[in-house]
């Protein structure tokens, strides 16, 4: 059985603004550039946690160069998967 990120993750676009993470799902896949067209979700009181260990199913479903960062929010814990440079910006911006 083949799995993709879309089976397990909600691909989209995130913007860190102070202590808020604004996330808009990407629902258009056509054309050269995906577009954010889903409903905007805002996560407040964001603080960066640790990098999540890549093993098992998680390691098989992520791009090889991506890592997963655990974030605490007012709604609980979420995971963000991206390249290390992007996660560094989140970690720095949420401190």
Structure confidence by residue, pLDDT tens digits, 4-42: 445 567 788 888 888 888 988 876 666 667 667 778 889
Range of the domain at 64: 5-94
Q: pTM (2 decimals)?
A: 0.72
* pLDDT recorded at residue 4: 46
Q: How far is CA 19 from CA 61, 71, 85, in A?
A: 29, 11, 19
Q: What is the pLDDT of residue 31?
A: 63
pLDDT, residue 42, reads: 92
No. of helices (H) and no. of strands (E), the chain: 3, 7
Token pair listed for 65: 């160069």
pLDDT in tens, 43-88: 999 898 898 887 777 667 778 888 888 999 998 888 888 888 988 8
> Could you tell me which of 9, 4, 11, 16 has the C-alpha nearest to residue 86?
16
Number of domains making up the chain: 1
């Amino acid at each position: 059985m083949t799995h993709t990120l879309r089976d397990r993750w909600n691909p989209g676009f995130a913007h860190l603004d102070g202590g808020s993470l604004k996330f808009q799902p990407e629902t258009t896949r056509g054309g050269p550039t995906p577009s954010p067209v889903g409903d905007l979700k805002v996560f407040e009181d964001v603080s960066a946690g640790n990098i999540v260990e890549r093993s098992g199913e998680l390691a098989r479903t992520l791009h090889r160069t991506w890592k997963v960062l655990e974030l605490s929010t007012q709604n609980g814990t979420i995971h963000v998967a991206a390249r290390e440079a992007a996660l560094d910006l989140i970690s720095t911006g949420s401190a």
